[in-house]
Amino acid sequence: MSELLLRKLEKWIAGKRPEATPELQRLIDEADGIMARGKEKGFTVEDDKRLDEICTQVENDRHILQPRLTQMDPGDGIPGGGWAFEVGAVRALTPAQRMVDHVKRSGLDGIEPGELSLGRMLRGSVLGDWKGAEAEKRAIGESTGALGGFLIPDSLSATIIDLARNKSRCITAGAQTLPMATAEVHLARVTGDASAFWRQEHGAITESDPAFERIILKAMALGILVRGSVELLEDSPAMAEMIETLIAEKLALSLDAAGLMGTGVGAPRGLFYTENVGEYSMGTNGAAPTSYDSFSQAMQTCMEANEEPNAIIMAPRTFGTLDRLKEATTGAPLGAPTSYAEIKKFTTNQVPTDQTQGTSSVASCAFVGDFRQLLFGMRTSLLLEATRTGGTNTFAKMEVLIRGYLRADVAVLRPAAFTIINGITE
């Protein structure tokens, strides 16, 4: 078992908290037992494997704390009363957890979420042919709109959102998902830590002021509009299923674009435009990486802020450049340091390669950090509408126009958990 894993498990066990979820507490207790036996009798291969599994599960089982401001009575210890933060847990979903398990399945008795198909529901709604889609017809009931649209049941809506989450690089890297019960959710983050001081007997404790900042998640509409022919829907049932996959893929790309590059103007604000995120520059006019030093520096910046980076997201071009680095003298592949070799790496074309840095107009960037500190707030309702008459020449061309949208927002819980490498050129 690696020393890093050993130290991490010991840290978690020592930091057991009473507010931990029962499942999280069970995992920590199990690890505690294995550690105790292993130190006494030695660790077996099975012990190492199980501890590694627990390590992964514990890393992915976190809470988002939402402080509530509540008034205190004079008897609560503060002269004259006052205000204090009462901390309540708002559960966010990790990448391994499903939105569909979170939603209520009201009105769908006897129908499991996995039995419903958006494709069959779409085909039945547009063509009026519900053969083989009886469950879908019962699920939507009378929820049809003026354009022939329908409101997807929460469980199926959550299934499509889960498909999009699975395809999102940010969420795969660790970003959490907060189901939003309302259009606006208020969270809080600490922007300045309190300090602790040693004191002598009878000495006063030095006062320090932690700084809090409000985070407001506002559900913004993310839409997709696609067109297909009525003949294809009639003759190829697979087309409806392809549209389901297409919607999930496009939503995933848009979520990544918002989480990484969202400007905050007409869209969520992503990491690139968030204040107090760390930065590392490749130079006045940018430069192509010739070593892994820039990524080591970015990780160091996160660590100096007491954060632990867990992933890198970059453009495919940057990944390829790093993958082809060679030793100057032998031409052999350049060996990466442990820090880069072991961290998770993801690529997406939502990271641009046409940014301007100095005289360069082909610059890119890379995001290094703890992506568990990136949060997507999502409303669970996905609205899908289809029309054979709206839009330009839809009726004349015997086409169907399909519109879908969900509402979401992005929040960076701890900006210091991320460092952006700017000015990466070819």
Based on the fold, state whether residues 124 and 233 are members of the same structural domain: yes
Same-domain check for residues 96 and 199 = no
Domain check: are 175 and 243 in the same one?
A: yes
Does residue 289 share a domain with residue 189? no
Let me know whether 390 and 330 are in one domain: yes
199 and 323 housed in the same domain: no
Give the residue from 198, 217, 236 where a domain finishes: 217
> What's the whole-model pTM score?
0.74
Q: Indicate whether 171 and 201 sit together in one domain.
A: no
Structural domain count, the chain: 3
| Both tokens assigned to 269 | 């604000």
Q: Are residues 174 and 205 both part of a single domain?
A: no
Domain shared by 120 and 246, yes or no: yes
Domain end residue (candidates: 217, 238, 269)? 217
Q: Tell me: do 313 and 338 sit in the same domain.
A: yes
Torsion of CA 376, 379, 381, 385, to 10 degrees: -70
Query: For residues 122 and 397, what is the distance between their CA atoms, to the nearest angstrom?
Result: 19
Domain range for residue 234?
Answer: 92-183+220-426
Please spell the DSSP secondary structure of 130-169, one letter per residue: -TT-HHHHHHHTT-B-TTS-EEPPHHHHHHHHHHHHHH-H
Say yes or no: 206 and 167 in one domain: no
- The reply to whether 115 and 262 lie within a common domain is yes
**Cα–Cα distance for residue pair 49/47, rounded to 1 Å:** 5
pLDDT in 10s for each residue of the chain, 426 residues: 555 556 666 666 665 554 455 666 777 778 888 888 877 888 788 887 788 777 766 655 544 444 443 333 443 333 333 333 333 445 788 888 888 777 654 445 456 656 778 778 878 877 888 888 888 887 776 555 545 556 667 777 788 888 899 999 999 999 999 988 788 888 877 666 667 778 888 888 877 766 667 788 999 999 888 888 888 888 877 777 787 788 889 999 999 999 999 999 989 999 999 999 999 999 999 999 999 999 999 999 999 998 999 999 999 999 999 999 999 899 999 999 999 999 999 999 999 999 999 999 999 999 999 999 999 999 877 777 778 887 888 889 998 888 888 899 999 999 999 999 999 998
